[in-house]
Amino acid sequence: MAATDVDVFSNEEKRNLSLGGHVGFDSLPDQLVSKSVTQGFCFNILCVGETGIGKSTLMNTLFNTMFENEEASHYQNGVYLRPRTYDLLESNVHLKLTIVDTVGFGDQINKEDSYKPIVDYIDTQFENYLQEELKIKRSLFNYHDTRIHICLYFIAPTGHSLKSLDLVTMKKLDSKVNIIPIIAKADTISKSELHKFKIKIMSELVSNGVQIYQFPTDDEAVSEINSSMNAHLPFAVVGSVEEVKVGNKTVRARQYPWGVVQVENESHCDFVKLREMLIRVNMEDLREQTHARHYELYRRCKLEEMGFKDTDPDSQPFSLQETYEAKRKEFLGDLQRKEEEMRQMFVNKVKETEAELKEKERELHDKFEQLKRMHQEEKRKVEEKRRDLEEEMNAFNRKKVAAETLSLSQPLKKDKDKKKSVKTENQSAVSASSSKVMMAKANVEPLNCQSWWQAIQCCTCLVHNATWKPGGLF
Amino acid sequence: MTSNIRYKSRIPVKTEDSMEEKQYVGFATLPNQVHRKSVKKGFDFTLMVAGESGMGKSTLVNSLFLTDLYKDRKLLNAEERINQTVEIIKHTVDIEEKGVKLKLTIVDTPGFGDAVNNNECWKPITDYIDQQFEQYFRDESGLNRKNIQDNRVHCCLYFIPPFGHGLRPVDVEFMKALHEKVNIIPLIAKADCLTPNEIKKLKDRIREEIDKFGIKVYQFPECDSDEDEEFKQLDKELKECTPFAVIGSNTVVEARGQRVRGRLYPWGIVEVENQSHCDFVKLRNMLIRSHMHDLKDVTCDVHYENYRAQCIQEMTSKLAQDNRMESPIPILPLSTPDVETEKLIKMKDEELKRMQEMLNKMQQQMHDKEQ
């Protein structure tokens, strides 16, 4: 029995059968709802508008909470987005709400690049979701979805028309996110002015091809209310968190000297309509549109960019394969290069440290040499000094000896012949050395006499020539 | 039925009192919005039935959905079945109940286990399931994803014959081949030939053998801790009753003054929907009224994801080795953790660490020298 013998014989003519009784699958929607309630919902709002136009206040009013917000300054260098996530709970429904604020929008002098950070942020959220989807091990069911579901665009209540910045920004955003334009601070416009203003705005949007979000009219349950609301766009809203006593009720309102603007009064502003549409009726549809339309568009563009084409089962997607291979090679190449770099860096560092060490070693050596030399120098000096000292000592000794000799020869001069003593005196000093010599002579040379009479005469001669030496007659 | 009540969405009652209005933001209507949209979109479900011929599969399906799906069937003789191959036959019907539309697909597997040599008779079935996964994978990875048809098999009812003493080898092999691809719910077929004691013994035996062979059948999800005691009790009973012993019937008979689906015997009437006669009602409640969506979820989140992960890994490892494979699936190169690359990275890491240590040592030496 070969596996290729599988006969998939599908009976594609779908038949509509009538049931003989109550089967019970009408609980399917309830099962689905129960599951989503346990999972929790998440919703992401992007508020785009000038600084101070009332974005934070409107959010507070819509969700009936005080989200922490400091006032933004007008002196930001550029536009940056500030997302904040909150967990809300209302009768067992958990909502993870993320509000993204555009800080610094419309404040710069040159606003050409104002829309860029917004578009980048939206794209980044799509990218993150795409990355999660393309992972091998993915967990989409508990992924925190940060894609922007709705962009509330706050239009300043000039009463004339859209600003150029508004038009440019909305044009850039309409293909990426659901836009609902809102006229902010609507308590500065009277009813008739408002009517004209709304018409002007809508006609400008239409003539420039800006696609704003249309409330869906295909579901019978809500089509009526949605289509009537579509006619009221853009909503003119007033936001307030302060409570004012009107009659016997306390309502949220703005108190002016000339009256009280009630937020939830339908004849004062469209706040209730906005809340109804945004939260109570179409929240799920907004999420669906984001996923099914805007995200799919992004994904398609991104994948086409990456080189993947839609394939028929028959055609060979060889260019795909090449692109994939090329990307893989590129990636590996990158990896290798990075490795090389790191290795290089490391080797360099090692070399440097080695060089340093060598340097230090040399220095130490030098020092050592120097010290040695110094030491030797010192030694030499000390040697010299010692020699000097020795010499001095010798000199001193000689002097001492001389002095002693002198002191000995002086007492002999008094006893003996003056002449002789003079002679001796004269000679003593001079011939101190010669006397030695004499004596030496006398000692050394034997007398060469033949007779004793000659010897005596020799002796006498000798005696005549002899001198007296201190210390005794010889 | 108490199980019905449990899954009613808890819609908050919007009070007319304006004081309440003030505090009420309104996103508690989200479940309603979801409900509305899902009803509008409709549901779909694919059920596979597998088991030998004559186990009562078709009859059971008819009893479950209270309709006759199998008009004009041709049953084969024993002779014709000697070398029979397993076929896969799909029946698709659109049924509606109280505004809820369901596109039901029943995948039949005639011929399973009928031939004399049943080696690998489950292969066509696993191939079919894999095919559906692959089809969905390709669709999901394509560029245009507007109209994806989900033909993945959400549940497989496997019919175990009551005539033996438990699971037979072919049952074990079949379930082991399929338990990681589809949610298997084993059933004891034709349970009207067993007395209550025998049923209990057989069930215990089968449960033991399922554990012994490591077969992962579909597990009911744990119920929430905030459910009432009654429900928890019911849930516990349900779990202890598996595998369900079922009886099906195409005929309506008169019993106790009512017209019921049942089988007429000389010794009595077996009522299909009588809880003391068989577990049919439990099966129906579990399959349709309370866990249908969960079966779909488990298929999407567990079986399909496993298939996808496996598929991608095979593809990338093949690509690394041989350049002639087509890969029309967009997957990011960055997200493929090649085992080899990881090893390399680890090695390099260690090398770096060692070099760092050497450097530190040299520095230390330098320090000492200076001192």
Whether A321 sits inside 8 A of B10 (CB atoms) is no
Helix A318-415 vs helix B339-370: crossing angle, to nearest 10: 10
Q: What is the pLDDT of residue A364?
A: 92
Greater confidence (B229 vs A433) lies with B229
State how beta strands A150-155 and A179-183 pair: parallel
Q: What is the pLDDT of residue A411?
A: 61
Whether residue A424 is predicted with pLDDT greater than 80 in this model: the reply is: no
What 3-state DSSP class applies to A385? helix
User: Chain B, 299-318: which have a CB under 8 Å from a chain A CB?
Assistant: 301, 305, 308-309, 312-313
Convert the pLDDT of each residue in A67-106 to its tens digit. 777 777 777 778 888 888 888 888 888 888 999 988 888 8
Contacts of A219 in chain B (CB under 8 A): 36-37, 40
Q: What is the pLDDT of residue A229?
A: 87
Please provide residue A360's backbone torsions phi and psi, each rounded to the nearest 5 degrees: -60, -40
Q: What is the pLDDT of residue A465?
A: 59
Whether A1 sits inside 8 A of B64 (CB atoms) is no
How confident is residue A388, by pLDDT bands cut at 50, 70 and 90? Answer: very high
Closest residue of chain A to B302, computed from CA coordinates? A139
- For residue A343, what is the enclosing H or E element? helix A318-415
User: Chain A, 429-468: which have a CB under 8 Å from a chain B CB?
Assistant: none
**How many residues comprise chain A?**
474
Q: Chain B: nearest CA to A363, how far in angstroms?
A: 10
Cα A200 from Cα A155, distance rounded (Å): 12
Convert the pLDDT of each residue in A347-363 to its tens digit. 899 899 999 999 999 99
Q: What is the pLDDT of residue A152?
A: 92
Q: What is the pLDDT of residue B325?
A: 43
Query: Alpha helices of A416-471 — where are they, by DSSP H?
Result: 418-430, 432-444, 452-465
What torsion do the CA atoms of A329, A330, A332, A337 make, to the nearest 10 degrees? 140
Q: Which of B11, B19, B22, B25 to mutate to test the interface with A (most CBs of A within 10 A)?
A: B25
Q: Report, as an integer, the average pLDDT of A199-214.
A: 90
Please name the member of B8, B89, B293 whose beta carbon is closest to the beta carbon of A35.
B293
Cβ atoms of A130 and A299 closer than 8 Å: yes
Whether B97 sits inside 8 A of A63 (CB atoms) is no
Q: What is the pLDDT of residue A123?
A: 92
Q: Is A12 on the interface with B (CB under 8 A)?
A: yes
Cα A352 from Cα A358, distance rounded (Å): 10
Whether B66 sits inside 8 A of A19 (CB atoms) is yes
Whether A350 sits inside 8 A of B284 (CB atoms) is no
Q: Is B9 on the interface with A (CB under 8 A)?
A: yes
Whether residue A374 is predicted with pLDDT greater than 90 in this model: the reply is: yes
Please name the member of B9, B94, B328 whose beta carbon is closest to the beta carbon of A320.
B328
What 3-state DSSP class applies to A65? coil
Q: What is the pLDDT of residue A470?
A: 52
Convert the pLDDT of each residue in A255-314 to its tens digit. 889 888 888 888 888 898 898 888 888 888 899 899 989 999 998 888 888 766 555 433
Whether residue A469 is predicted with pLDDT greater than 70 in this model: the reply is: no
Query: In this complex, how many residue pairs, one in chain A and one in chain B, have their CB atoms less than 8 Å apart?
Result: 286
- Neighbouring CB atoms inside 10 A of B351's CB total 12
Cα A69 from Cα A59, distance rounded (Å): 11
Q: What is the pLDDT of residue B371?
A: 67
What torsion do the CA atoms of A429, A430, A435, A438 make, to the nearest 10 degrees? -170
Contacts of B323 in chain A (CB under 8 A): 325
Q: Which of B143, B151, B350 to mutate to test the interface with A (most CBs of A within 10 A)?
A: B143
C-alpha atoms less than 13 angstroms from C-alpha of A277 in its C-beta half-sphere? 28
Whether residue A371 is predicted with pLDDT greater than 90 in this model: the reply is: yes
Q: Chain B: nearest CA to A50, how far in angstroms?
A: 26
User: Which regions in chain B score pLDDT beneath 50?
Assistant: 1-21, 323-328, 332-337
Cβ atoms of A148 and A46 closer than 8 Å: yes
Q: Report, as an integer, the average pLDDT of A144-156.
A: 91
Contacts of A6 in chain B (CB under 8 A): 86-88, 124, 127-128
Q: Is B327 on the interface with A (CB under 8 A)?
A: yes
User: Chain B, 134-193: which have a CB under 8 Å from a chain A CB?
Assistant: 142-146
Convert the pLDDT of each residue in A218-230 to its tens digit. 888 788 888 888 8
Whether B359 sits inside 8 A of A353 (CB atoms) is yes
Amino acid in position B176:
K
Q: What is the pLDDT of residue A420?
A: 53
User: Chain A, 174-213: which have a CB under 8 Å from a chain B CB?
Assistant: none
For the ranges A46-60, A195-209, A397-411, the lowest mean pLDDT is seen at: A397-411
Cβ atoms of B158 and B176 closer than 8 Å: no
Please name the member of B8, B325, B331 whose beta carbon is closest to the beta carbon of A30.
B8
What torsion do the CA atoms of B228, B230, B236, B239 make, to the nearest 10 degrees? -100
Q: What is the pLDDT of residue B335?
A: 41
Cα B328 from Cα A318, distance rounded (Å): 9
Contacts of B85 in chain A (CB under 8 A): 1, 5, 7
- Could you tell me the pTM of the whole model? 0.67
**Residues whose CB falls within 8 Å of the CB of residue A213, separated by 6 or more in sequence, listed in order:** A150, A178, A179, A180, A286, A289
Cα B196 from Cα B204, distance rounded (Å): 12
Q: Chain B: nearest CA to A338, how far in angstroms?
A: 12
User: Average pLDDT, whole number, for chain A?
Assistant: 79
**What is the percent of chain A with per-residue pLDDT over 70, rounded to a whole number?**
77
CA B157 to each of CA A346, A438, B75, B86, B179: distance values in angstroms, whole numbers, following the listed order: 63, 153, 21, 16, 12
Q: Report, as an integer, the average pLDDT of A35-58.
A: 88
Q: Which of A16, A22, A23 to mutate to test the interface with B (most CBs of B within 10 A)?
A: A23
Q: Is B31 on the interface with A (CB under 8 A)?
A: yes
Cα A175 from Cα A179, distance rounded (Å): 9
Q: What is the pLDDT of residue A412?
A: 55
What 3-state DSSP class applies to A175? coil
DSSP strands (E only) in A247-370: 249-256, 259-262
Cβ atoms of A26 and B99 closer than 8 Å: yes
Whether A17 sits inside 8 A of B93 (CB atoms) is yes
Please provide residue A135's backbone torsions phi and psi, each rounded to the nearest 5 degrees: -65, 160
Q: Is B13 on the interface with A (CB under 8 A)?
A: no
Q: Is B353 on the interface with A (CB under 8 A)?
A: no
Whether B289 sits inside 8 A of A27 (CB atoms) is yes
Cα A128 from Cα A133, distance rounded (Å): 9
Closest residue of chain B to A89, computed from CA coordinates? B28
